[in-house]
Amino acid sequence: MQIINNPKKSEWTSILKRPTQTVDDIEGVVNEIFIDVSKNGHNAVKKYTSKFDGILLESNSVALEEIKAAIRQVPQKLQNAIKQAKANIETFHIAQKTSKIEIETAVGVKCWQEKRPIQKVGLYIPGGTAPLFSTVLMLAVPAQIAGCKEIVLCSPPNTKGELAPEILFAAQLCGVTKIIKVGGIQAIAGLTFGTESIPKVYKIFGPGNQFVTVAKQLATKYGVAIDMPAGPSELLVFADDTANASYVASDLLSQAEHGIDSQVILVSTSKSLIDKVSKEVTKQLGVLPRRAIAEKAIANSKLIYVETDDLALELIDEYGPEHYIICCKNEDLYIDNINNAGSVFIGHYTPESAGDYASGTNHTLPTNGFSKAYSGVNLDSFMKSITFQKISKEGILNIGETIELMAEAEGLQAHKNAVSIRLKDLKP
């Protein structure tokens, strides 16, 4: 990892740059596949699954028997762990439910807001080097709590044309209504346009590589909503002399092993801690099964020394991390003054992997600095707020003239007339 001492603010942009390709490099490929899938449906999806995943599937739907067989392959202890994680995620997301908001804004003018589920949602579950069955829990649990009627899951098959048994177990546990063996750009395109085997949905959720992220953004051009731009994983740790260097190193490596384009950063006001963490990273990296992946991610990562807390906080906010760990004496300062972060992990015994799996918070979070404007997935992500209003005779008499004056000032005569015709009937 590169050690950087007291960088000037003018250097922050280049230092904090993510190791990602530009959208221009990817968009041409994504556009080409989207056009093909929109025109040729299932046949196009089948072609790209063969090209990118190395398997030609005549049918990409997962049958009930396949799910039953997969469940038998998941060890009971792991099944129990998944169920416990699901229970914690349910507890946290059920607590996010809000009741109807109703108020009389003026005499005779009643307004209220109610939430309704998004009826059709698509869940993208990454496969590849690490099939993320935990993401099934993070997306399907709040979708089920929200009351979504159609929950369609897409995930890339392996070269045998199968999905990981753990993904299928989690999917049936959480009420997924349809499981499709399709990944990458073609999965997002299928959910956007609909094919013979993939239902068209109203909103697409889930993380993925840079190609999936750009595909999700392109889907919005065709009227399909997305949760957020969520690309390669990232972590920023702030730690001082009170931190345990081996803990910090383990947290950095836990994100580095996600993929070669992941990025991890340590910001510290302690040079001695940075030196200790650097040595620990090298030591722990040597025994990781996914060492080759983690090494490439570590090459994109930084250990940054700054002199003051104020500078540290400003730099962290500028980066806007997906995951943000605080391991320091004055943790309240770093909690209260952060504005841009997807999810925050506080204290020496709160590893980021707890949020990835079982604490209850959601791990589908904004990356690439999008935490400056986006929230992570939550219960409201699967719902819409609808406003209602009911105005009585007294109410329209009360606010009618206000509406008339404003409509006339905007030059919208029909708007004014819609009120005037009613007032004429009500006034003596």
pLDDT tens digits, 352-411: 999 999 999 999 999 999 999 999 999 999 999 999 999 999 999 999 999 999 999 999
Q: How far apart, in Å, are the Cα atoms of 318 and each of 7, 10, 117, 140?
A: 13, 12, 34, 32
Mean pLDDT of 275-282: 97
Q: At what angle do helices 76-94 and 133-146 cross, to 10 degrees?
A: 40
* Residues sharing a CB contact under 8 Å with residue 396, sequence separation 6 or more, in sequence order: 108, 419, 422, 423, 426
The SS3 of residue 373 is coil
CATH code matching the domain that covers 392-426, chosen among 1.20.5.1300, 3.30.420.40, 3.40.50.620, 3.30.1330.60: 1.20.5.1300
The first and second tokens of residue 159, run together, are 């070269």
Is CATH 1.20.140.70 correct for 23-229?
no
Distance CA 238, CA 216 (A): 31
Q: How confident is the model over 103-119, as a mean pLDDT? A: 98
Output the pLDDT for position 232. 82
Question: Confidence class of residue 21 from pLDDT cuts 50, 70 and 90?
Answer: low
322 assigned to active site: yes
Instruction: Look at residue 121 in the predicted model and tell me its pLDDT.
Output: 98
**Bridge partners, 104 (sequence order):** 110
Q: Is 415 annotated as a binding residue?
A: yes
Name, in order, each residue with C-beta under 8 angstroms of 341's C-beta and a sequence gap of 6 or more: 316, 320, 321, 322, 323, 324, 371
Whether the CB-CB separation of 239 and 248 falls below 8 Å is answered with yes
> What architecture does CATH give domain 2-19+232-360?
3-Layer(aba) Sandwich (3.40)
- Residue 318: beta bridge partners? none
Rg over CA atoms, the chain: 25
pLDDT in tens, 410-423: 999 999 999 999 99
Same fold? 2-19+232-360, 392-426: no
pLDDT category at 22 given cuts 50, 70, 90 is low
Q: Which of 317, 310, 304 is nearest to 239 (CA)?
A: 304
323 is catalytic: yes
In the chain, % of residues over pLDDT 90: 92
Tell me which residue of 145, 217, 206 sits closest to 175, measured CA to CA: 145
Q: 37-90, pLDDT tens digit by residue?
A: 999 999 999 999 999 999 999 999 999 999 999 999 999 999 999 999 999 999
Catalytic annotation, pick one of 234, 322, 352, 363: 322
Residue whose token pair is 């992997």: 353
- Average pLDDT score over residue span 236-240: 98
The response to whether 255 counts as a known ligand-binding position is yes
Q: Is 413 within any annotated ligand binding site?
A: no
The answer to whether 258 is a known ligand-binding residue is: yes
- Residue 124 annotated as part of some ligand binding site: yes
Q: Is 410 annotated as a binding residue?
A: yes
pLDDT for residue 428 is more than 70:
yes
> Is 50 known to sit in a ligand binding site?
no
10 Å Cβ neighbour count for 63? Answer: 10
Q: How many CB atoms lie within 10 A of CB 149?
A: 11
Report d(CA 371, CA 323) in Å as an integer. 10
Q: Which of 323, 394, 401, 404 is catalytic?
A: 323
User: In the chain, what are the domain boundaries?
Assistant: 2-19+232-360, 23-229, 392-426
Q: What is the largest CA-CA distance in the chain?
A: 88
What b/e sequence results for 330-348 when a residue is b if at least 16 CB atoms lie within 10 Å of its CB, and e otherwise?
ebebbeeebebbbbbbeeb
Predicted local confidence at residue 107, as pLDDT:
98
Those residues with Cβ within 8 angstroms of residue 162's Cβ, 6 or more apart along the chain or in another chain: 66, 181
pLDDT tens digits along 168-216: 999 999 999 999 999 999 999 999 999 999 999 999 999 888 899 899 9
Concatenate the DSSP letters of all residues of 243-266 into one string.
Answer: S-HHHHHHHHHHHHTT-TT-EEEE
- Say if residues 185 and 156 touch (Cβ distance below 8 Å): no
What beta strand segments (E) does 85-169 contain? 101-106, 109-117, 120-124, 150-154
State whether residue 360 is helix, strand or coil: coil
Residue 161 in 3-state DSSP? coil
Per-residue confidence band for 23, with pLDDT thresholds at 50, 70 and 90: low
SS3 category, 364: coil
What backbone torsions phi and psi does residue 321 show, to the nearest 5 degrees?
-70, 150
What's the rounded mean pLDDT across residues 272-284?
Answer: 97
φ/ψ bin of 418: left (φ > 0), alpha (ψ from -120 to 50), beta (otherwise): alpha
SS3 59: coil
The mean pLDDT value of the chain amounts to: 95
> Is residue 186 annotated as involved in ligand binding?
yes
